[in-house]
Homo-oligomer: A and B are copies of this chain.
Amino acid sequence: MGSSEKVTTAPAYSYLGPAGTFTEAALAQVPEAAGKTWHSVNNVGEALADVVSGRSVAAMIAIENSVEGGVTATQDALANIPNLRIIGEYLVPVEFELVARKGTTLAEVNIVNAHPVAYAQCRGWLEKSIPHHGHIPSSSNVAAAASLLENDTADAAIAPAGIARHYDVEVLASGIADNPNAVTRFVLVSKTKELPAPTGSDKTSLIVELPDDRSGALLEMLEQFATRGVNLSLIQSRPIGDEFGRYRFVIDAEGHARDERVADALLGLRRFSPKVIFLGSYPRADKVTTEHSKRYADGIFTDARAWLAEILGD
């Protein structure tokens, strides 16, 4: 009983599996996750449900691909499931291989099994190398490779680099992604309310709904950042879903909520928008130091507050 309790209370991590996915590679970058239980799940919804239920302390999920753009399922899930917080960001290079059952040659490949996003990222190579191929969509990059061993519907599969360590497949071609610099960005999501400490190289993620009672609302939202010197590294529109023309925006702002200029922008956003979801402030994966004009230094903000307090006699 004691040991079973220990098991249930040991922190577990959920990720889009199975073993070999880019998501697993992202989770492998988290020192705290080493040696802990890893739950392989089938989709983003399951991963976040694990966090909500407490089955896992955190889930690793893909949030943006440098070629394909935002992962809309992730963005929409974060918009709809309350009380989640991003606590870390991780980058994984997108490196694809074309794999097949042992003994297959490239010339024999007609039908390619691939996750639609992976297929899109390798389309140029495929059209050049296998002009008349057909495509069978699969639910994950690893599932595509795995299915080669289960049935012969497809002749080959697009899989993450390194897949041959997990499955008994033959690598027909490596480095087949059209953009050799493609990267997928992952975030680690938990239920904690505690903000990671500012590091000087942070991001703050938000989902902001635009008020629909006026034109120029997007312009006005952007000014909340611009007038505080806060740069955005991501801005993506998503339909709210009830009717055309209503949007929420998924935003990554440079800096931490404890930076005065970011905090002030948050106040401005919250006053402006009918709904702001604060998804967290956390260290950037690329470790790039946040640059900002000295006009927006913390001291400028605290001085202004002191000045106003004196005027108001507070």
Contacts and interface: CB of A to CB of B under 8 A. Distances in A.
A224 interface: yes
Nearest to A260: B271
Interface residues of A, number: 72
Given A219-B226, A268-B227, A305-B267, A241 B312 contact: no
Interface string A256-293: 01100001001110111000101000000000000000
Nearest to A230: B215
A149 interface: no
A66 B257 contact: no
Interface string A112-139: 0000100010010000000000011111
Interface stretch (A2-10, A27-35, A155-163, A232-240): A232-240
A304 interface: yes
A272 B222 CA distance: 18
Interface stretch (A54-62, A100-108, A295-303): A295-303
Contact of A312 (B195, B218, B238, B296): B195
Given A66-B241, A227-B223, A235-B237, A311 B195 contact: yes
A201 interface: no
Chain A interface main SS type: mixed
Contacts of A82: none
Given A223-B219, A235-B247, A267 B66 contact: no
Given A185-B244, A233-B244, A295 B308 contact: no
A53 interface: no
A224 B226 contact: no
A6 to B, nearest CB: 30
Contacts of A267: 301, 304-305, 308
A247 B69 CA distance: 9
Interface of A: 45, 64-69, 72-73, 116, 120, 123, 135-139, 179, 181, 183, 185, 193-195, 215-216, 218-220, 222-224, 226-227, 231-239, 241-245, 247, 257-258, 263, 266-268, 270-272, 276, 278, 295-296, 300-301, 303-305, 307-308, 311-313
